[in-house]
Amino acid sequence: MNKLRTGAFHTSMILLSLLWLGPVLWVVVMSTRSFDDIAAHGVGSLPQSFTLDTYRQAWTDGGELRALINSMLVTVPSVALSLCLAAMAAFALSRFRIPGRRTVLLLMLAGNLLPPQILLIPVAKFSELTGLYDTLWALIAVQVGFGLGFYTFVLHGFMRDLPGEIQEAATIDGAGTAQIFTRVMLPLTRPALAALGALSFTWIFNDLLWAITVLRTDDNMPVTPALLGLQGQFVSSWNVIAAGTVIAAVPTVAVFLRFQRHFVSGLALGAVK
Amino acid sequence: MTATVSTTSVTPTRRRRRSARLSPLLVAFVLVPFAVESVWVFWPALQGFWFSLTRWDGMSPPTFVGTDNYVELAGDATFRGALLNTVIWLVLFGGLSVLGGFGMALVLQKERRGVGFYRAALFTPVVFSLVVTALVWRVFYQPDGIADTLLRAVGLEQLIRPWLADPQTALYAVILPALWRQIGYVMVLFLAGLKAIDPALHEAARMDGANAWQRLRHVTIPQLKGVNAVVLSVIVIDSLRSFDIVWSLTKGGPYHSSELLSTYMYSTAFQSLRLGYASAIAVVIFVLALAVILGYLVRAFREEA
C-alpha cells in the first residue's frame, strides 16, 4: 500500500516536472536545429539536424552581444547602487531614533508597490527633460528609484533584529556612525544583501516595461526587449529565435545556480515580510 | 536567514537605542535614498494624476480638460473589455497560481527522496523573464507546434486552432504560460510558511484523532494566515501590473481580445500618443491597486509597531 503510494507520487511528480521542464528543453533542442530541418518537419517534430550557427546568427546578426552588454551595464550598477542606498536608509531607520522613521519607511515601501503604469508617462517625460531619455542612465536611475523602497523595507526588518550590544560595543571602542555601518552592520547583513542582490539582479535583468519606456534606439536596448526585436527580425527562423532565447536566459540562470539558496530565501524574505 | 525566521523572531522588547542626537551623516543616510525615490517615483506619481486631467499628445503642452478623459473611459468599449480581462486575469491567473502553488507546497513539503528535484523543476521558470517564457510558449502554440502535435497524437485534431490569433482563445493562451511561471514562485512562498509551523501542533492534532484533511483545515491553514495575506496582496498587485507576457505574445490582440488595462495603457500612451487619456487608465489601475497597497501597509505597519 505504502509502496503503491510512493510509486504514484513519483510517477505524477515526474510527469509534472516534465511538463515544467519540457518546454525549456524543447527550446534548447530547437536552437540547435537547422532552418531547413524546421522548415521541412515543423517546430513540433524531433530534431534531424545539429548546428550551432544559430547562436552565431543571434549573437552577431541579431545584436544579442550588444544587448547583453547593455543589460550588464544597467543591471550591475543598478543592483549595487540600490542595495547601497537601501542599506544606508535601512541602517539609519532601524538603529537610530529618527523622528518619523516609521512613516518614511512605509512611504518608501508604498512607492515600490505603486503600479508602474502611473509612473510611465511622467518618467518618460522627466527623462526627456533631463536629457537622459534613450540613455542607459535613465534606465539605471528608474530601476534604482523604483526598487529602493522594497529593498529598504526588507533590510530594515533584518537590521532591526540584530542585537544592539554589537553596536554598543563598537561605539565604546570609538567607532563612528560610518564605521559602525561599514564595519559592523554591512557584514552582519550579508545574507540579506546576497538574497536581495540575487533577486534584484534577475528582476532588473529581466525587465521589459521600463526599458521600452525610457529607451528608443535598438542599439541601447537590453536583452529582454532585444529578444522581442529578434522575433521581428528573424520571422519564422525559429532556431535563431530559440538560440536568442537561450542566450537571454543564461545570465539569470547562472546567477540563480550560483546563489540558489540565497535566491530562494530572498523570494520568501521579500514576500513573507 | 529565511522569512520564517525574521517574522517569528521579532523581539517585542524595545532595545535601548544609541545616540540621541542626529548626526548629519545619518540624516543624509535617510534623505539621499528618499530623494532618489521622490524624483523617480513620488513626484512622477503625482504628475500622473495631473496628466490624467489633460489632453496631451506629448509634443505641445498639455491642456486641462477636467474629467473628460474619465467620462470618455466610461463609454470606451475597449477599456471595458480590458477591465473585464483584467478581472478574468486576476481570478484565473491569481486564483490558480495560489491553488497550484499551495497544492504543490503541500505535496512537496516533506523531505523525501526526489523532492529537491521536483521543487527545482517547478521553480525553474521563475528564473526566466516573462519575455523568455513567452518565446518558449510560442513554440508550443505555433501552427503545427507542440500543442497541435500533441492534439493530433491523441486524435483531437478538430480542436486545433491558431491559439494566439483566435480571439476566443488568446487570453487563455496567454494566461497558461503566466501560470506556468508563477506556480513555482507561489510554491516557494508557501514552503517557507509551512516550514515555520511548529510540528508539535500537528502532532497534538494527530493525537486528538484529527485526520489529514482536518489537520490541513484546522492547523495548517490558520497557521499560514500571515503568508496567505502576503501571497494574496502580491498576486493582486502582480495581476494588475501584468504586462510583459501579454505584450510579448499578443500585444493585447487580436481585436483587443487579450487586452489588459496595463497593455491598453501602454499602447494608448506610446503608440497612439494620447498621454492624457493613458494617464487616466493608469489612475484606474492605481485605484484598483490602492486597496491592496493599503491592506498591505496596514499589516506592515502593525508589524513594525
Q: Which three cell numbers stand for residue A94?
A: 532601524
Q: CA dist A130 to A133, B48, B304, Å?
A: 8, 18, 37
Q: Which of A2, A27, A64, A117 to mutate to test the interface with B (most CBs of B within 10 A)?
A: A117
Q: Does any CB of chain B come closer than 8 Å to the CB of residue A17?
A: yes
C-alpha to C-alpha distance for A22 and B137, rounded to whole angstroms? 11
What DSSP assignment string belongs to A204-231? HHH--HHHHHH---GGG--HHHHHHHHH
Which pLDDT band holds residue B284 (cuts at 50, 70, 90)? very high
Q: Counting beta carbons within 10 angstroms of the beta carbon of residue A74, is it exposed (0 to 12), middle (13 to 18) or buried (19 or more)?
A: buried
Which pLDDT band holds residue B81 (cuts at 50, 70, 90)? very high
Place of cell 534584484: A200
* Interacting residues of A10 by C-beta distance below 8 A, sequence separation 6+: B114
Residue that wins the pLDDT comparison between A46 and A109: A109
Predicted confidence (pLDDT) per residue in B83-130, tens digit: 999 999 999 999 999 999 999 999 998 888 888 899 989 988 988 888
pLDDT at B235: 86
**Interchain CB distance below 8 Å, A120 and B282:** yes
Q: Is B54 helix (H, G, I), strand (E, B) or coil?
A: strand
pLDDT at A213: 93
Contact status, residue A70 vs residue A136, Cβ threshold 8 Å: yes
Nearest to B269 among A98, A120, A253 (CB): A120
Q: Counting beta carbons within 10 angstroms of the beta carbon of residue B49, is it exposed (0 to 12), middle (13 to 18) or buried (19 or more)?
A: middle
User: How many helices, marked H, and strands, marked E, lie in chain A?
Assistant: 15, 0
| Average confidence (pLDDT) over A189-206 | 91
* Interacting residues of A255 by C-beta distance below 8 A, sequence separation 6+: A198, A201, A202, A205, A263
Predicted confidence (pLDDT) per residue in A232-269, tens digit: 888 778 889 999 999 999 999 999 888 888 887 777 76
Q: Does any CB of chain B come closer than 8 Å to the CB of residue A152?
A: yes
Calculate the dihedral angle through the C-alpha atoms of A153, A155, A160, A163, rounding to the nearest 10 degrees: 170
Q: Is the pLDDT of residue B11 over 90?
A: no
Q: Measured between beta carbons, which residues in chain A are less than 8 angstroms from residue B296?
A: 113
Surface of B (234-293) touching A: CB under 8 A: 234, 237, 240-241, 243-244, 247-248, 261-262, 265-266, 269-270, 275, 278-279, 281-283, 285-286, 289, 292-293
Q: Is the pLDDT of residue A66 over 60?
A: yes
* Interacting residues of A41 by C-beta distance below 8 A, sequence separation 6+: A48
C-alpha to C-alpha distance for A212 and A234, rounded to whole angstroms? 20
CA distance A120 to chain B (A): 8
Place of cell 529565435: A241
Could you tell me how far CA A256 lies from the centroid of its own chain?
10
CA distance B205 to chain A (A): 22
C-alpha to C-alpha distance for B47 and A123, rounded to whole angstroms? 9
Of all residues in chain B, the one with the smallest CA distance to A249 is B128
Please give the radius of gyration of chain B, using alpha carbons only, rounded to the nearest integer.
Answer: 24
* Interacting residues of B193 by C-beta distance below 8 A, sequence separation 6+: A272, B4, B105, B223, B224, B226, B227
pLDDT at A269: 65
Q: Angle at which helices B95-108 and A2-30 pack, to 10 degrees? A: 130
**Interchain CB distance below 8 Å, A17 and B121:** yes
pLDDT at B4: 35
**Interchain CB distance below 8 Å, A115 and B241:** yes
CA distance A122 to chain B (A): 5
State the pairing for strand pair B54-55/B63-64. antiparallel
| Residue A52 exposure: Cα atoms within 13 Å on the Cβ side | 1
Could you give the ipTM of this predicted complex? 0.88
Nearest to B3 among A26, A164, A269 (CB): A269
pLDDT at B300: 65
CA distance B158 to chain A (A): 18
Q: Is the pLDDT of residue B20 over 60?
A: no
* Percent of chain B as helix, strand, coil, to the nearest 5: 70, 0, 25
**Interchain CB distance below 8 Å, A272 and B227:** yes
pTM: 0.88
**Interchain CB distance below 8 Å, B247 and A117:** no
C-alpha to C-alpha distance for A108 and A102, rounded to whole angstroms? 10
